[in-house]
Amino acid sequence: MPEKIDKLTQTHESTTATNLSILKQWLCEFEGSNVATQAVIISTKDAASGHNQRVPCFYGVESIVQRNSIQKLTSISNQVFKLLIGLLKGFKPRVYEIEEMLLIFLLKIKFALPFSALAAIYGKNESTISYNFYKILDILYARTQEFIFWPDIEDIKATMPECFRDNYPSCRVIIDCSEVKTEKPSALDQQNAMYSFYKSAHTIKFLVGEFDSFNFRFITFIYYY
């Protein structure tokens, strides 16, 4: 069971050298022996005129939705994002709402950001970010396995690209052994096992099968040696 998270908030108003009045909210969270702090700008205005001024900030999912930028940042559409939210039904992250944690998960997948970087961006503990990431990974792995299926030969022929239909009429699937770069493992034996001289980096290896429109039809288990 995760430890109880206690929160303490405080607001503070200050004026910059450019006469800009900024109202901030300080959030402090206590999770066991871990402490995380975050400053959020609530409002900004000109100190002399009192008119509000907009300061560009990143507010997580809220910012992404307002700018319709989910696909730009994660390479998935709004519809797929909502589908993944539905697949995660029943999961309650330690912090944030499920939409926010899914965005963090997708940013990690897309850009291979270290947990330390995501923790700094969101003002959370690195352990909390990594815990929720792996929980989401396990859930999606279990609930999306049926998304990959092996079609009938007639269906493959019906959707086969013309170049393959003419030159390789009996082709059923294209297989490819792929390598993906990973972070450097902390354990020395894992560093030795995962290092790829071909990529000059630490990698994981897997075999995929793809065909019509280059959709994946088969994926093996991941290997690291």
**Apex 64 CA angle, 63 and 65, nearest 5:** 95
Measured CA to CA, the distance from residue 84 to residue 119 in angstroms comes to 22
Q: Is the dihedral of CA 134, 136, 137, 141 positive or negative?
A: positive
- Residue 48's pLDDT is 56
Measured CA to CA, the distance from residue 65 to residue 27 in angstroms comes to 23
Q: Could you say which residues of the chain have pLDDT below 50? A: 1-4, 18, 41-42
Q: What is the pLDDT of residues 149-159, one digit of tens each?
A: 777 888 888 87
Strand partners, 219: 208
- Residue 176's pLDDT is 85
Q: What is the pLDDT of residues 42-75, one digit of tens each?
A: 455 555 555 555 555 566 777 676 666 888 888 8
Q: Where are the domains of the chain?
A: 5-46, 61-145, 148-219
Measured CA to CA, the distance from residue 219 to residue 198 in angstroms comes to 22
Contacts of 48 (CB under 8 A, 6+ apart): 19
Measured CA to CA, the distance from residue 154 to residue 213 in angstroms comes to 16
Q: Which residue has tokens 């947990």?
A: 115
